[in-house]
A = this chain, B = another copy of it.
Amino acid sequence: MNNLTDTPVPDPGSGGDKKESKQSSALKKTSRYRSRSLSASSTDSFSSASYTGSSSDDGDDVPPREKVQKNSKGNADFCVRNINQQGFGRREIEIAEQEMPGIMALRKRAADDKPLKDAKIVGCTHINAQTAVLIETLVELGASVRWAACNIYSTQNEVAAALAELDIPIFAWRGETEEDFWWCIDRCVNAENWQPNMILDDGGDATHLMLKKYPTMFKLVKGIVEESVTGVHRLYQLSKAGKLTVPAMNVNDSVTKTKFDNLYSCKESILDSLKRSTDVMFGGKQVVVCGYGDVGKGCAQALKGQGCIVYITEIDPICALQASMDGFRVVKLNEVIRNVDIVVTATGNKNVVVREHMDKMKSGCIVCNMGHSNTEIDVNSLRTPDLTWEKVRSQVDHIIWPEGKYIILLAEGRLVNLSCSSIPSFAVSITSATQALALIELFNAPPGRYKSDVYLLPKKMDEYVASLHLPTFDAHLTELTDEQAKYMGLNKAGPFKPNYYRY
């Protein structure tokens, strides 16, 4: 819920703020783009890449835009760090495919129908192995695509190369400048013989650019699918302002996204993030989790399961009551801050952990952020002359107080699950399938079904996405008998629940 006032979107046409020093600009960009990384497909490729020994350091400092590269077929309609990395990228994509059964099933089922035939999609998302699976699926389903990154740091260069090798026009590399960033998007929107009719956006930048710079082209778009909190927020603003001239699908609030991506992903990644970065033992550790929404619930459950003693802070009495009934003490942060071994933020709010709290923490306390922005921990308050920062590992800083006490800050307060762990491909698979279905729905909807407004995915599609993932678990659905369907007043094929059902 990063509001737009806080992170003003620069007009891509202007360039006013490009003059500042390089470093401060980089810092700003970090915080700016990171703030969008709540989106499900956001996965920082750091960890897996670092494992393989392969990395973005290709010993080649030529900026990609200045390079001349062709893929093995002679095609040059792309811009990536190094086309030669494609072999490794292809392997990473193949591994991801194994854990993305839903999107692969969709690819298989719909391959003959080509439901996206004639769709021309501008994509702007994180670019990593999992999104590559999505992109290649869209192509299999008949679409033409052009793709850019929604984040200057998150591109997995090898994967981008692998996509380019398949003649997919991709414009993205890790470590773009802000100018590069907008250039890449522009290259996806505006190309020869290319009138896009769909946008798949993660953060709203492709939508923004096309609307501002190519308003005529924008009017011919049939639909927008938006993934992130920020992007959805921007769409609602546009809609309120009367400027949204095409239907848009908010997939951020679909049940498969909120329940699966938030709850289950975080349940898996909190343990992984803490272990990989600090090797901490969980048994008996005292942890405070700030916030008991879906993310906080997932974290608290996983940590308790591994033997931690977990405290919760909450502002909402209903969530607080849930925490209580689930067996967690609900406290104010100050009540436990001197005793806890680990602090996890999961509120979506700002300044939840401030300097005053950190002054009270015991030495060795680990502090990390699982919420959605980089604002939850007031990291700036730690950048004072009396404190010493020592980087002990990648993504791990010791902040040392004059008297010798130190705290362990992960990922400099940014999202620790993106920086210090991998995101389960399976969760991404659910979101990707949702995005693909949303594209199909908007692209094929009869005229009039959707107006120029922001829509939630029809529940039936949510159910379809779920059903695509059941074979992975060898799960067998029961079918209603006619008599039962009648008794319940349901259609045998669903949807099975009222819209307000909470799951």
A interface residues, Cβ below 8 angstroms from B: 1, 3, 6, 47-48, 50-53, 91, 95, 98-99, 253, 255-256, 258-260, 264, 267-268, 271-272, 275-277, 279-284, 286, 294, 302, 304-309, 313-333, 335, 339, 348-352, 363-364, 375, 392-394, 421-422, 424-427, 462-464, 466-467, 469-470, 472-481, 483-484, 487-489, 494, 496-497, 500, 502-503
Given A1-B489, A255-B318, A318-B463, check contact A324 B470 (CB 8 Å).
yes
Cα separation A272 to B422 with both chains bound (whole Å): 12
Given A306-B302, A503-B318, check contact A283 B477 (CB 8 Å).
no
B332 touches A470 (CB 8 A): no
CB distance from A118 to the nearest CB of B (A): 30
Known contacts A264-B307, A281-B427, then 10 further A-B pairs from the complex at CB < 8 Å, ordered by chain A residue: A1-B489, A98-B363, A271-B272, A279-B424, A281-B426, A283-B325, A284-B325, A320-B470, A320-B475, A352-B484
A333 touches B478 (CB 8 A): yes
A259 touches B322 (CB 8 A): yes
Cα separation A503 to B262 with both chains bound (whole Å): 12
A350 touches B483 (CB 8 A): yes
A324 touches B256 (CB 8 A): no
The 9 closest A-B pairs by CB, nearest first: A305-B305, A330-B475, A281-B424, A317-B467, A317-B466, A324-B473, A283-B325, A307-B327, A316-B496
Residues of chain B with a CB closer than 8 A to A332's CB: 476-478
User: Contact check: which of B281, B319, B427 meets A268 at CB < 8 Å?
Assistant: B281
Q: Which B residue sits closest to A335, measured CB to CB? A: B476
Residues of chain B with a CB closer than 8 A to A315's CB: 477-480, 496
User: Contact check: which of B52, B308, B351 meets A327 at CB < 8 Å?
Assistant: B308
Cα separation A276 to B95 with both chains bound (whole Å): 14
Given A51-B394, A315-B478, A350-B484, check contact A322 B503 (CB 8 Å).
yes
Given A320-B466, A325-B283, A326-B283, check contact A268 B476 (CB 8 Å).
no
This protein's copies in its complex: 4
B317 touches A477 (CB 8 A): yes
Cα separation A392 to B49 with both chains bound (whole Å): 11
Residues of chain B with a CB closer than 8 A to A322's CB: 259, 503
A1 touches B488 (CB 8 A): yes
Residues of chain B with a CB closer than 8 A to A425's CB: 279, 281
Given A91-B392, A275-B272, check contact A324 B281 (CB 8 Å).
no
Cα separation A503 to B294 with both chains bound (whole Å): 7
User: Contact check: which of B99, B305, B327, B470 meets A309 at CB < 8 Å?
Assistant: B327
Among A1, A313, A324, chain B packs the most CB atoms within 10 A around the CB of A324
Residues of chain B with a CB closer than 8 A to A320's CB: 466, 470, 475, 477
B48 touches A279 (CB 8 A): yes
A282 touches B255 (CB 8 A): no
List 13 interface pairs A-B (beta carbons < 8 Å), by A numbering.
Answer: A48-B393, A259-B318, A275-B275, A279-B424, A283-B426, A284-B473, A294-B502, A302-B306, A318-B503, A320-B477, A321-B469, A323-B475, A331-B476
Residues of chain B with a CB closer than 8 A to A392's CB: 91, 95
A330 touches B427 (CB 8 A): no
CB distance from A335 to the nearest CB of B (A): 7
A255 touches B502 (CB 8 A): yes
Among A271, A276, A317, A488, chain B packs the most CB atoms within 10 A around the CB of A317
Cα separation A335 to B253 with both chains bound (whole Å): 35
CB distance from A296 to the nearest CB of B (A): 12
CB distance from A115 to the nearest CB of B (A): 20
Cα separation A50 to B55 with both chains bound (whole Å): 13
Q: Which B residue sits closest to A350, measured CB to CB? A: B487
